[in-house]
Amino acid sequence: MATATWNGEIIAESDDTVVVEGNHYFPIESVHQQFLRPSETTTECPWKGTASYYTLHVAGEDNADAVWFYPNPKPEAAEIRGHVAFWHGVDVVA
Beta partners for 68?
Answer: 53, 85
Query: What CATH code would you report for 2-93?
Result: 2.170.150.40
**Sequence-distant contacts of 9-14: CB under 8 A, at least 24 apart:** 9/35, 9/58, 9/59, 11/35, 11/56, 11/58, 11/86, 11/90, 12/84, 12/86
Residue 71 · residue 53 · CB < 8 Å: no
Give the pLDDT confidence score for residue 10 in this predicted structure.
98
Residue 24 · residue 94 · CB < 8 Å: yes
Domains of the chain by residue range: 2-93
Give the pLDDT confidence score for residue 17 in this predicted structure.
98
List per-residue pLDDT tens for the chain, 94 residues long. 999 999 999 999 999 999 999 999 999 999 999 999 999 999 999 999 999 999 999 999 999 999 999 999 999 999 999 999 999 999 999 9
pTM listed for this prediction: 0.96
81-93: b (≥16 Cβ within 10 Å) or e: eebbbbeeebebe
